[in-house]
Amino acid sequence: MDSANLFQLGTGLETGAHAEDSRGTVTVPDIFDDTRDDHFIRKDGEVFAGTHLILEVVNGHGLDEEHRIQQAFRDCVTECGATLLHIHTHKFSPQGVSGVAVLAESHISVHTWPEIGYGAFDVFMCGDAQPWKSVEVLKRAFQTQDVRVKELRRGTGLVTDHAAA
């Protein structure tokens, strides 16, 4: 197989990702380049890559319904101001669903245990997206008031505000 015809995931796509020159040498953009549009978040005196919410839906309903989960992903994307690229879900037998929504801003993922009303969601978004808005979406989608949240600020301390400006 001719390697020139292979598609390398994560390359190009006008994202500022790795670029290959005419000699086949891969160059990686300098994250400290002042002209780079990095989409890092600047909040509360910190600079970080994105907000990663670990959400637990407890006493939820409909967690075995693939269509409902896909709609919840779409509703989260809309409410949070993100950009949906792709959704993939898988229904298990006898129950349970796993899935991911790939976003321009990162991802939303889930694995459910409908037999106990539990769904383990991740919502990771960078840039101007507002991942905290997903909490109310999930409450509505799965008819529960019990959504537990832990926040991680991914990439904190890797880039200073001056270097990422």
Is residue 107 flagged as an active site residue? no
Give the helix ranges, DSSP H, for the chain. 66-80, 134-141, 161-164
Query: Among residues 18, 106, 107, 134, which one is catalytic?
Result: 106
Is residue 22 flagged as an active site residue? no
Pairing relationship of beta strands 97-103 and 84-91 according to DSSP bridges: antiparallel
Whether the link from the prior residue into 94 is cis, omega within 30° of 0, is yes
Is residue 106 flagged as an active site residue? yes
Please, are residues 123 and 76 in contact by the beta-carbon 8 Å criterion?
yes
Query: Among residues 18, 111, 134, 162, which one is catalytic?
Result: 111
Active site residues: 106, 111, 126
